[in-house]
């Protein structure tokens, strides 16, 4: 009996997806050329590795870690020390392999810390990682020999003449190095999900007890996965060290760990590609979103509330749901609803945004006059008109949104029913 | 205890004991099962049948006594160690991997025994033996059509079947089934018993059952557990005739009616 | 007392009950029989307000369809779910305490009576219910519901996993409940016991009632037994 | 001796402060299993609301009103948001409180601005509750309220007198913490609410079928937990600082208390708070480091080693992170916490 | 780009077009500092200062006649974010970067600016540091591209210790600090300078605690009391300072506190009446400088309802203007060269950018926190309190030697 026949048609699709991914990585800096864009792209690559490695724990192993930055961060520190050793000539390895040093460091620390953390799952695991994270962060300021104190440790990635003009001076060269690492790491982590250990990790997540009755040691499965996740986390840290050429204590901080958790979840922990989306959003949120508005933290918080409530599977699950609808050929009838939803949602956002921005303006900026522009519309933060206008827009938007949402939900439900019937029918065949 | 067959025991309990806090639940149980025997374990509710299974399979550590599998002591070992030595069990309350598909569930059950252990250097898709074995199991438990359905979405009976599939997947020689037919209707039960018989050919089987029909249909021998002791271990006919068993367990006419009904 | 009419129930989009109709009179044991998946448990849940449904459920002359489960419980319907649903981390005694609608007031039943009914529970009253044996858990759920002093008790497969001797005992107790004036809607798999104690029997198939009559007439109706019960 | 007494008092009162901060968290966590990351934000909200209300009504009514408002907001949040994600499990529950904490902090800054507020305790709480007087001639004595100046001044140069006032705010805080302990204990043991919720965590439908209005109970518990946070906020805000960073400083140490104490154990949380409070306070007093230890043991490490930070790090320097060390150790060796009954 | 300091509205020609040599040229500056988080309020307040003074110093306000435009980027106090912000600024063609809060950010920026300038000749940027005080920045890590306008930790300690040396009643000193480079450096310089100036003063204790982690300072106060210290030297800022003083008050500790940052946004309110008469601050300015500064501060307060205290802001515009006029160019390389050794008259007398290490040499003031009124009426955050100057130390006293080996381009 040949069993993997059903992978055949998918394999073509898979080749396509991976080639597209590679292509995307290759052309991105040709499209977005500014200095900021290149470093943002680099950071996205780095974040993608970090979030995927985090999701090995969260999504695939059911381990909620509050201290993943420990492994990315320590990887970064080790990598920058390695880089400095390379610069000093005491470590004869090419600069391009420095991230691997970070990976090794992540691995070693995961071996050390993972031994105690992965003995338990659930809340106990979460809390140990929280405690370890705090400890490592506190230590980072107390032991300047290794962590470089407040200023951190800096290095210089340009060592010697380089090879064929590649000396990693120009950010674009570093970007391509990161892109290569990103591609390989993503591929490796995807491959991992298809291996016996990867599958058993899912089993451990679902039912650690039962795993022991099919011959596996649940603890050991968790531990091994933790080590592998630590390795990739370290690589991501090492790439970060190369990109910034400086590593400071913030890389092991709780803020980082929290961000990995939040954005991995936002992207979608249940699908492999979810964390990739999450990572991209993370970089956008921290680098660009915060430049657009002072109220970015507020928006971020609200986005999380809404996502957790209405799309607990993250963005990836939304996409997959629509793909499923598309597979049954019924996505097309939804676009009107989507359009309506988007438009009304934008109206709500405009109303709410105008009010939020006015409050912020009043608070931070009032001396510059009470006028401000919000998406091109002049507003007067002290004028009743603007406030009434914004409130009106908000309320109308809310009303319309709710209306369209209901219509959409009915339609959506009907389609789901249809799909369910179809699957039942197919099963019965 | 009367030993009809001779030779080494596949599974042997020697004065096995287990206490929870102050209460002793298993009070010196003795039992010897020969290879290939099908044994039904019966007894009143709370007698300690499931506890006995938990002790044998390593879920609990015994407070005293010994458990031997093919002559080797396994008491005090962890569940996965015992499993690797060739003993596998199912659960009274369905216990599978809810977010994995039927096929994945079964494949998880076979991986270790085929020697793949913790490897992450091979693709699952390339493990022909594991895939074939899982397909075969899936066919045996008649879930081919639900191959890619997540286990949570199966009906109760299907989940029970899957539970059995995962249990026998590893190819263990000794199988413990805890109330495999619980919650099934008569007809389903009948089908299911056939299934169990079919998939456990040549294996040593211990199963807990309350349904006398099943018990008498399936078992070569019956072990009666009462108050943490094995008070009788014999052929079905002799056990049914046993006065103590009558008193402690079977009650009067219901048992007869049930047993006779098949 | 309980009058179910044209009841349709849905799990999300799947339509499970198709116009179920029956009634239960005071002091009566009604057996609800049928194959796996015929919709018996769903009927019970629909009465308790736990699934989405349309139609009519009248209890003591009052429409309860659309009420919340706890409101229905307060009106005097007790429900013993099929998958036992004991509270694993609470002790046996605490499980029983939760059965009471108001702390300390248990109406017709007291803790002592419960413990007298199943001495096994008394022995284990301070144990976490999660570690009870399957049968013990079944006893516990029954007692827990009785503590709420219901007038009608809906029991979903109470003898599941019980030793034959206990099965008999449960039958015994159900009859005693009836003597105390309770009505019982008994969902059962084991025909023998259901036929032995019930006043009327209903058979369900594919989400509607396909047979309605006394146990004797069911015994006589070979077609129904073959087609819908497969015995 | 007097240093010991004062340190002990400081330690206990700090422990009680920790308990006050975490009691609401314990309540919600032990009953609902939700690790409420927004707890510190509710604490902060309590302080700011307390400040605003007290400007209209004075401190004491604010002490009552602000927690009620915070509790109400908590209940509303439970009703509108948390309830929706309950069915998805603990991680989304935790994340939604995470998101809420961002929102609250930003909103608070929007409404009250970004710099510290002048929120003072009422006059009656401003002085010392009592003063410990250590007179090298007469020994240790205790004086209620502030000690008169002449008692604290040495009459003659050979006598050393040290007056250590114990702030009334601290005393009040200890009192409130004890009251909280009592009321949460009553709630847990004298009512069935605890049972209902624990049962509902695993089988909500069965609990409803028994006649309990589960959603309402959840809402009440979350509201009560938030109200406790709010109460702590009014007191903490007036005793310490009312500023945007106040939530962050309370931060994760309250989780340490709850987890070290044991999941679902009120007495455990209490014990853990006191232990951590005393431990940390006394640790501050010790300047021992690995280096001095080695020297005392007669080992003479090389001077290069001696000057490295690892070796120079003193106990007092690491005092504030001891709770985390404690947390990790406890969880490794006793995963269910000091007095916990269940794991995870 | 948001907020506080949108480029000063050009329409409001507060400063008429100047007549300097570069009249009409626009100089863009980007300030990379926190606008959110722990130091957000400080960054926001300082941002307003740049907005205010960019307008004042534009056009006729500076000898070169250039127009200054300042934008703010929020770095969330994160070095990595700051490097992103730097990239964003470079993309906009900005050649002047300003930063101040957090030496970790400062060190990261110096490093990044050095590398950028080395790898991109012709596109150099200057980094103007208004408040990061890590001495390393003008010693071991000194850079041609970096200029510091605050006085570094060692200079301030020089002044502070001179003052302490004059106080005969100070005999026992306790040093307490946050456990990171600033706290460690304060402790180190305190010990060095006191040993030099008043060897009889005993250091009776020394402690470091984690940054912004301590909720309860009572144990530290108990320890300080037990040590018999009459004076505490601390580098603490923000809530770590306010809570310390509060705990001292409550714990009945009456000694003096010598601090660096009593006047920074938020701290005055938090201090309130606490510590009146015994909390000292050493800085290059205080709230009652008199003259033009007083007028500016009043105007600033009216306009923004906030207090201006970061005097470096003014110095940056003054020196930039002068250097550009001198260099007749806004090219950073030439301007930097012109800034070296530049002297300007400023609100606290003549100040000089020392050529050797680019550290501004300036007078320092020791002031004490007490009731406002009389000669010293300015009350920050309407607390009714103020910082009253008790001693001024001219350049030559506060100056400290440098170990800088400056590498100059070309
Ligand atoms: N972890 C435990 N702690 C305390 N008591 C336990 C524990 N596990 C089981 N028991 C008790 O041991 C007794 C035997 O339980 P067991 O589950 O083995 O019974 P059983 O024979 O399988 O009954 P059933 O047929 O009803 O399933 C019961 O009374 C049960 O309450
Ligand atoms: N939660 C659910 N979601 C979707 N479908 C369900 C759900 N529960 C039950 N069903 C379906 O509804 C139908 C009736 O189920 P129900 O549980 O009422 O049957 P039953 O007669 O009680 O059978 P059993 O003997 O299994 O208890 C079945 O086809 C079942 O698959
Ligand atoms: Mg059992
Ligand atoms: Mg059913």
- HEC profile of chain A: CCCHHHHHHHHHHHHHHHHHHHHHHHHHHHHCCCHHHHHHHHHHHHHHHHHHHHHHHHHHHCCCCCCCHHHHHHHHHHHHHHHHHHHHCCCCCCHHHHHHHHHHHHHHHHHHHHHHHCCCCHHHHHHHHHHHHHHHHHHHHHCHHHHCHHHCEECCCCCCCCECCECCCCHHHHHHHHHHHHHHHHHHHHHHHCCHHHHHHHHHHHCHHHHHCCCCCHHHHHHHHHHHHHHHHHHHHHHHHHHHCEECHHHHCHHHHHHHHHHHHHHCCCCCCHHHHHHHHHHHHHHHHHHHCCCHHHHHHHHHHHHHHHCCCHHHHHHHHHHHHHHCCCCHHHHHHHHHHHHHHHHHHHHHHHHHHHHHHHHHHHHHCCEEEECCEEEECCCHHHHHHHHHHHHHHHHHHHHHHHHHHHHHHHHHHHHHHHHHHHHHC
Residues C28 and C121 in one domain: no
Residues C225 and C116 in one domain: no
Does residue B262 lie in a domain region? no
Residues A366 and A271 in one domain: no
Q: Is the CB of C70 under 6 A from ligand 2?
A: no
What does the pLDDT look like over D110-135, one tens digit per residue? Answer: 888 877 888 888 888 888 888 888 77
Q: What is the mean pLDDT of residues E172-183?
A: 90
Does residue A74 lie in a domain region? yes
Q: Cβ D191–C90 below 8 Å, yes or no? A: no
- Domain end call among A297, A317, A348: A297
Share of chain C above pLDDT 70, in %: 97
Per-residue pLDDT of chain C in tens (231 residues, 90 and over written 9): 899 999 998 887 678 888 899 999 998 999 998 887 788 889 999 999 888 889 999 998 889 888 889 999 989 899 988 877 888 888 899 898 888 877 666 567 788 888 888 888 888 888 888 888 877 888 888 888 988 888 999 998 888 778 888 788 888 888 888 888 889 999 987 788 888 889 999 998 888 898 888 988 888 888 887 777 765
Chains B and C touch, contact meaning at least 3 pairs of CB atoms under 8 angstroms apart: yes
Residues C41 and C133 in one domain: no
Q: What is the mean pLDDT of residues E304-309?
A: 88
B25 CA distance to ligand 1 middle (Å)? 7
Residues B77 and B122 in one domain: no
Residues A419 and A345 in one domain: yes
Residues of chain E neighbouring A167 (CB-CB closer than 8 A): none
The C-alpha atoms of residue B12 and residue B35 are separated, in whole angstroms, by 11
Q: Which CATH number do you get for residue C191? A: 3.40.50.300
Q: Kindly report the average pLDDT of chain A as a whole number.
A: 88
| E215 part of contact set with chain D, CB < 8 Å | yes
Residues C51 and C143 in one domain: no
Select from D244, D260, D252 the least CA-distant residue to A255. Answer: D252
Listed by number, the residues of chain E in 38-57 with a beta carbon closer than 8 Å to a beta carbon of chain A are 44, 48, 51
Q: Is the CB of C159 under 6 A from ligand 2?
A: no
User: Which residues, 6+ apart, have CB-to-CB distance to A67 below 8 Å?
Assistant: A129, A130, A132, A133, A136, A254, A257
pTM here is 0.89
Does residue B153 lie in a domain region? yes
Cα A80 to Cα A248, D205, E82, E114: the distances in Å are 10, 56, 19, 18
Does residue C58 lie in a domain region? yes
Listed by number, the residues of chain A in 69-128 with a beta carbon closer than 8 Å to a beta carbon of chain E are none
Q: What is the mean pLDDT of residues E231-237?
A: 94
Nearest CA in chain C to A412: C13
| A222 part of contact set with chain B, CB < 8 Å | no
Q: What is the 3-state secondary structure (H, E, C) of chain E?
A: CCCCCCCCCCCCCCCCCCCCCCCCCEEEEEEEECCCCCCHHHHHHHHHHHHHHHHHHCHHHCCCCCEEEEEEEECCCCHHHHHHHHHHHHHCCCCEEEECCCHHHHHHHHHHHHHHHHHCCCCCCEEEECCCCCHHHHCCCCCCCEEECCCCHHHHHHHHHHHHHHCCCCCEEEEEEECCHHHHHHHHHHHHHHHHHCCCCEEEEEEEECCCCCCCCHHHHHHHHHHCCCEEEECCCCHHHHHHHHHHHHCCCCCEEEECCCCCCCHHHHHCCCCCCCEEEEECCCCCCCHHHHHHHHHHHHHHCCCCCCCHHHHHHHHHHHHHHHHCCCCHHHHHHHHCCCEEEECCEEEEECCCCCEEECCEEEEEEEECECCECCCHHHCCEEEEEEEEECHHHHCCCCCCCCCCCC
Q: What is the pLDDT of residue D300?
A: 63
In the block, residue with structure tokens 């071991």: E140
Does residue B1 lie in a domain region? no
User: Which residues, 6+ apart, have CB-to-CB distance to A198 below 8 Å?
Assistant: A60, A192, A225, B120, B124
* Domain range enclosing C92: 86-150
Residues A263 and A375 in one domain: no
Residues B191 and B129 in one domain: no
Query: Which of A295 and E152 is assigned the larger pLDDT?
Result: E152
Total domain count, chain C: 2
What does the pLDDT look like over D135-159, one tens digit per residue? Answer: 777 777 787 877 777 777 766 767 7
| CA atoms in the 13 A half-sphere facing the CB of D104 | 29
The C-alpha atoms of residue A195 and residue A202 are separated, in whole angstroms, by 11
Residues B50 and B178 in one domain: yes
Task: Please tell me the number of the ligand nearest to residue C134's CA.
Answer: 1
Helix ranges (DSSP H) in chain B:
49-57, 79-84, 102-111, 128-140, 156-169, 186-199, 212-218, 236-241, 243-245, 253-260
What does the pLDDT look like over D61-116, one tens digit per residue? Answer: 999 999 999 999 999 999 999 988 988 888 888 889 988 998 998 889 888 887 78
Whether residue D343 is predicted with pLDDT greater than 70 in this model: the reply is no
**Residue E176's pLDDT band (boundaries 50, 70, 90)?**
very high
**Residue ranges lining ligand 1, Cβ < 6 Å:** B 20, 25, 43, 45-51; C 124, 127, 131-136, 161
**Residue E8's pLDDT band (boundaries 50, 70, 90)?**
very low
Residues A214 and A345 in one domain: no
Query: Which of E53 and D340 is assigned the larger pLDDT?
Result: E53
Cα A310 to Cα A65, A306, E331: the distances in Å are 23, 6, 54
Cα D174 to Cα D166, D167, D169, D258, E150: the distances in Å are 12, 11, 9, 18, 44
Residues of chain D neighbouring E245 (CB-CB closer than 8 A): none
Chains B and D touch, contact meaning at least 3 pairs of CB atoms under 8 angstroms apart: no
Does residue B222 lie in a domain region? yes
Residues A200 and A156 in one domain: yes
Residues C101 and C115 in one domain: yes
Q: DSSP letter string over C190-216?
A: -HHHHHHH-SEEEEEETTEEEEEE-HH
Q: What is the pLDDT of residue B49?
A: 92
What does the pLDDT look like over C53-62, one tens digit per residue? Answer: 899 999 988 8
Q: What is the pLDDT of residue D71?
A: 96
Does residue B3 lie in a domain region? no
Total domain count, chain B: 2
User: How many Cβ atoms sit within 10 Å of the Cβ of residue A341?
Assistant: 17
Q: Is the CB of C11 under 6 A from ligand 2?
A: yes
Q: What is the pLDDT of residue C117?
A: 81
* Domain range enclosing B73: 8-86+172-257
Per-residue pLDDT of chain B in tens (262 residues, 90 and over written 9): 444 445 688 999 999 999 988 889 999 999 999 999 999 999 888 889 999 999 999 999 999 999 999 989 999 999 999 999 999 999 887 889 999 999 999 999 999 989 888 989 888 888 899 999 999 999 988 888 888 889 988 887 888 889 999 998 888 899 999 988 877 777 778 888 888 888 888 899 999 988 887 888 888 999 999 888 998 899 888 888 888 777 777 665 444 444 333 3
Q: Cβ E212–D243 below 8 Å, yes or no? A: no
Does residue B69 lie in a domain region? yes
Instruction: Tell me which of C86, C126, C142, C164 to substitute to probe the interface with B (most B C-beta atoms closer than 10 Å).
Output: C164
Cβ proximity of D101 and D254 under 8 Å:
no
Whether residue A180 is predicted with pLDDT greater than 80 in this model: the reply is yes
Q: Which CATH number do you get for residue A186? A: 1.10.3470
Does residue C81 lie in a domain region? no
Q: What is the dihedral of CA A146, A151, A153, A154, to 10 degrees?
A: -170
User: Which residues, 6+ apart, have CB-to-CB distance to B138 below 8 Å?
Assistant: B102, B103, B106, B144, B147, B165
The C-alpha atoms of residue E147 and residue E151 are separated, in whole angstroms, by 11
Q: What is the pLDDT of residue D201?
A: 80
Nearest CA in chain D to C101: D211
Total domain count, chain A: 2
Does residue A11 lie in a domain region? no
B42 CA distance to ligand 2 middle (Å)? 29
Query: Which amino acid residue places its CA nearest to atom 11 of ligand 1?
Result: C132
Q: What is the pLDDT of residue D305?
A: 59
In the block, residue with structure tokens 């009251």: D179
Residues B126 and B249 in one domain: no
Cα E37 to Cα A138, B256, D247: the distances in Å are 19, 78, 11
Q: Is the CB of B80 under 6 A from ligand 2?
A: no
Whether residue E164 is predicted with pLDDT greater than 90 in this model: the reply is yes
Residues A369 and A251 in one domain: no
Q: Kindly report the average pLDDT of chain D as a whole number.
A: 84
Q: Cβ C131–B155 below 8 Å, yes or no? A: no
**Residue E388's pLDDT band (boundaries 50, 70, 90)?**
very high
Share of chain C above pLDDT 90, in %: 20
* Domain range enclosing A336: 328-428
């Amino acid at each position: 009996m040949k069993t993997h026949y059903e992978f055949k048609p998918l394999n073509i699709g898979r080749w396509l997806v991976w080639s597209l991914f590679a292509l995307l990585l290759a052309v991105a800096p040709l499209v977005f050329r500014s200095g900021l864009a290149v470093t943002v792209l680099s950071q996205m690559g780095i974040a993608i590795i970090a979030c995927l490695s985090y999701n090995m724990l969260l999504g695939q192993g059911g381990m909620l870690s509050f201290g993943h930055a420990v492994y990315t961060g320590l990887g970064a520190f080790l990598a920058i020390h390695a880089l400095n050793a390379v610069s000093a000539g005491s470590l004869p390895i090419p600069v391009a392999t420095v991230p691997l040093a970070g990976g090794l460091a992540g691995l070693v620390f995961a071996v050390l810390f993972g031994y105690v953390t992965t003995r338990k799952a659930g809340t106990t695991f979460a809390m140990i990682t929280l405690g370890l994270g705090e400890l490592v962060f506190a230590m980072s300021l107390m032991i300047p020999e290794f962590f470089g104190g407040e200023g951190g440790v800096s290095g210089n990635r340009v060592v010697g003449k380089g090879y064929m003009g590649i000396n990693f001076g120009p950010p674009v060269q570093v970007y391509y190095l990161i892109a290569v690492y990103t591609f390989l790491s993503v591929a490796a982590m995807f491959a991992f999900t298809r291996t016996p250990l990867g599958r058993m990790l899912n089993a451990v997540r679902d039912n650690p007890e039962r795993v022991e009755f099919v011959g596996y040691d649940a603890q050991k499965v968790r531990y091994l996965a933790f080590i592998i996740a630590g390795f990739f986390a370290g690589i991501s840290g090492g790439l970060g060290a190369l990109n910034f050429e400086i590593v400071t204590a913030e890389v092991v901080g709780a803020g980082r760990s929290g961000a990995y958790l939040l954005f991995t979840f936002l992207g979608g922990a249940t699908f492999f590609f979810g964390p990739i989306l999450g990572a991209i959003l993370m970089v956008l949120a921290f680098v660009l979103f915060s430049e657009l508005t002072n109220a970015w933290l507020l928006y971020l918080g609200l986005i999380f509330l809404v996502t957790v409530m209405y799309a607990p599977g993250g963005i990836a699950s939304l996409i997959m749901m629509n793909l499923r609808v598309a597979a049954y050929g019924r996505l097309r009838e939804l676009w009107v609803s989507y359009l309506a939803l988007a438009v009304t949602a934008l109206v709500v956002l405009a109303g709410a945004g105008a009010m939020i921005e006015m409050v912020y303006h009043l608070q931070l900026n009032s001396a510059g006059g009470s006028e401000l522009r919000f998406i091109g519309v002049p507003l007067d933060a002290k004028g009743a008109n603007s406030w009434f206008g914004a409130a009106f827009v908000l309320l109308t938007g809310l009303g319309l949104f709710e209306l369209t949402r209901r219509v959409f939900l009915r339609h959506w439900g009907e389609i789901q029913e249809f799909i369910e019937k179809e699957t039942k029918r197919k099963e019965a065949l | 205890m009367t030993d009809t067959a001779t030779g080494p025991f596949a599974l042997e309990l020697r004065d096995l004991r287990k206490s929870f806090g102050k209460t002793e639940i298993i009070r010196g149980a003795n039992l010897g099962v020969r290879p290939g025997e099908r044994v039904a374990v019966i007894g009143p509710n709370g007698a300690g049948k499931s506890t006995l299974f938990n002790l044998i399979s390593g879920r609990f550590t015994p407070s005293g006594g010994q458990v031997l599998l093919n002559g080797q002591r396994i008491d005090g070992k962890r569940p996965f160690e015992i499993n690797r030595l060739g003993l596998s069990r199912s659960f009274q309350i369905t216990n599978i991997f809810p977010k994995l598909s039927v096929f994945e569930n079964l494949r998880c059950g076979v991986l270790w025994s085929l020697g793949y252990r913790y490897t992450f250097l091979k693709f699952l898709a390339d493990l022909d033996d594991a895939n074939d074995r899982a397909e075969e199991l899936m066919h045996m438990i008649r879930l081919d059509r639900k191959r890619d359905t997540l286990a949570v979405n199966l009906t109760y009976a299907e989940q029970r079947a899957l539970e059995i599939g995962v249990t026998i997947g590893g190819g263990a020689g000794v199988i413990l089934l805890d109330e495999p037919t619980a919650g099934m209707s008569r007809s389903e039960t009948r089908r299911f018993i056939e299934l169990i018989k079919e998939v456990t050919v040549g294996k040593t089987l211990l199963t807990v059952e309350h349904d006398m029909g099943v018990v008498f249909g399936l078992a070569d021998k019956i072990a009666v557990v009462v108050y943490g002791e094995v008070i009788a271990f014999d052929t079905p006919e002799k056990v049914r005739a046993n006065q103590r068993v009558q008193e402690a367990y079977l009650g009067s006419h219901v048992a007869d009616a049930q047993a006779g009904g098949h | 007392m309980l009058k179910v009419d044209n009841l349709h129930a849905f799990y999300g989009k799947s339509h499970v009950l198709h116009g179920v109709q029956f009634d239960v009179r005071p002091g009566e044991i009604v057996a609800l029989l049928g194959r796996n998946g015929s919709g018996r448990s769903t009927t019970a849940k629909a009465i308790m307000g736990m699934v989405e449904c349309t139609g009519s459920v009248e209890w003591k002359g009052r429409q309860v369809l659309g009420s919340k489960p706890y409101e229905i419980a307060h009106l005097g319907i007790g429900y013993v779910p099929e998958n036992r649903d004991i509270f694993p981390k609470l002790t046996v005694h605490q499980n029983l305490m939760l059965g009471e609608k108001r702390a300390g007031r248990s109406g017709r039943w007291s803790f002592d009576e419960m413990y007298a009914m199943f001495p096994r529970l008394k022995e284990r009253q301070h144990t976490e219910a999660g570690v009870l044996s399957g049968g013990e858990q079944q006893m516990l759920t029954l007692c827990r519901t009785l503590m709420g002093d219901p007038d009608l008790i809906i029991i979903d497969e109470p003898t599941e996993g019980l030793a034959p001797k206990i099965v008999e005992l449960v039958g015994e107790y159900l009859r005693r409940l009836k003597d105390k004036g309770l009505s019982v809607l008994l969902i059962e798999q084991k025909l023998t016991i259901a036929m032995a104690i019930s006043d009327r029997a209903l058979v369900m198939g594919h989400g509607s009632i396909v047979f309605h009559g006394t146990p004797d007439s069911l015994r006589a109706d070979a077609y129904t037994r073959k087609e819908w019960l497969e015995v | 001796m007097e240093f010991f007494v004062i340190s002990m008092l400081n330690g206990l009162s700090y422990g009680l402060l920790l308990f006050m901060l975490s009691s609401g968290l314990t309540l919600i966590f032990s009953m609902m299993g939700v690790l409420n990351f927004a707890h510190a934000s509710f604490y902060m909200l309590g302080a700011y609301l307390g400040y605003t209300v007290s400007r209209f009504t004075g401190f004491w009514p604010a002490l009552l009103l602000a927690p009620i408002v915070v509790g109400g907001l908590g209940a509303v949040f439970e009703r509108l948001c948390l309830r929706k994600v309950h069915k998805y499990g603990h991680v989304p529950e935790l994340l939604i409180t995470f998101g809420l904490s961002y929102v609250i902090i930003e909103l608070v800054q929007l409404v009250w601005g970004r710099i510290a507020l002048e929120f003072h305790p009422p006059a009656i709480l401003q002085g010392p509750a009592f003063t410990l007087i250590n007179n090298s001639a007469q020994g240790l004595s205790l004086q209620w309220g502030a000690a008169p100046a002449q008692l604290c001044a040495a009459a003659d140069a050979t006598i050393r007198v040290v007056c250590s006032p114990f702030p009334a705010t601290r005393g009040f805080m200890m009192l409130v913490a004890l009251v909280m302990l009592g009321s949460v204990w009553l709630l847990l043991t004298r009512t069935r609410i605890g049972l209902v919720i624990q049962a509902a965590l695993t089988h909500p439908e069965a609990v409803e079928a028994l006649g309990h209005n589960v959603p309402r109970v959840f809402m009440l518990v979350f509201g009560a937990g938030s109200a406790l946070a709010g109460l702590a906020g009014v007191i903490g805000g007036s005793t310490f600082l009312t500023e945007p960073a106040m939530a962050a400083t309370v931060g994760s140490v309250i989780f340490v208390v709850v987890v070290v104490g044991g999941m679902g154990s009120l007495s455990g949380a209490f014990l853990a708070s006191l232990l951590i409070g005393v431990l940390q306070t006394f640790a501050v007093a010790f300047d021992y480091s690995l280096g001095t230890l080695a020297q005392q043991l007669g080992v003479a490490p090389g001077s290069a080693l001696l000057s490295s930070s690892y070796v120079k790090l003193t106990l007092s320097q690491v005092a504030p992170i001891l709770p985390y060390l404690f947390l990790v150790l406890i969880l490794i060796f006793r995963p269910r916490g000091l007095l916990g009954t269940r794991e995870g | 780009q948001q907020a506080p300091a949108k480029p000063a509205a050009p329409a409001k020609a507060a400063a008429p077009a100047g007549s300097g040599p570069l009249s009409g040229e626009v100089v863009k500056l980007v300030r990379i500092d926190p606008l959110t988080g722990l130091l957000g309020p400080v960054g926001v307040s300082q941002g307003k200062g740049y907005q205010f003074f960019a307008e004042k110093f534009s056009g006729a306000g500076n000898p070169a006649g250039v127009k200054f435009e300042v934008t703010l980027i929020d770095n969330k106090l994160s070095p990595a974010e700051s490097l992103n912000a730097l990239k964003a600024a470079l993309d906009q063609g900005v050649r002047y970067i300003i930063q101040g809060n957090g030496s970790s950010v400062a060190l990261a920026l110096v490093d990044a600016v050095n590398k950028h300038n080395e790898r991109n000749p012709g596109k150099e940027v200057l980094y103007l540091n208004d408040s990061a005080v890590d001495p390393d920045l003008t010693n071991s890590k000194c850079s041609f591209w970096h200029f510091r306008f605050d006085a570094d930790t060692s200079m301030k300690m020089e002044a502070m210790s001179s003052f302490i040396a004059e106080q005969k009643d100070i005999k026992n000193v306790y040093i307490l600090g946050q456990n990171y480079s600033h706290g460690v450096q304060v402790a180190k310089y305190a010990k060095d300078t006191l040993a030099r100036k008043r060897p009889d003063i005993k250091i009776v204790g020394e402690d470091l605690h984690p940054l912004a982690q301590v909720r309860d300072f009572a144990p530290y106060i108990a320890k300080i009391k037990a040590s018999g210290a009459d004076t505490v030297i601390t580098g603490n800022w923000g809530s770590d300072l306010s809570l310390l003083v509060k705990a001292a008050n409550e714990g009945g500790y009456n000694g003096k506190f010598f601090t660096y940052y009593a006047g920074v946004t938020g701290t005055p309110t938090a201090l309130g009446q606490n510590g009146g008469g015994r909390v000292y601050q050493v800085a290059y300015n205080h709230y009652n400088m008199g003259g033009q500064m007083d007028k500016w501060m009043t105007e600033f307060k009216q306009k923004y309802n906030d207090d201006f205290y970061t005097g470096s802001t003014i110095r940056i515009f003054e020196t930039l203007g002068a250097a550009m006029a001198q260099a007749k160019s806004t090219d950073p390389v030439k301007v930097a060269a012109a800034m070296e050794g530049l002297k300007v008259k400023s609100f606290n007398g003549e100040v000089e950018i020392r050529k050797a290490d680019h550290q501004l040499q300036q007078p320092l003031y020791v002031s004490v926190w007490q009731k406002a009124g009389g000669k010293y009426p300015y009350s920050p955050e309407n607390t009714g309190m103020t910082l009253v100057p008790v001693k001024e130390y001219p350049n030559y006293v506060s100056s400290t030697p440098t170990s800088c080996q400056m590498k100059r381009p070309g």
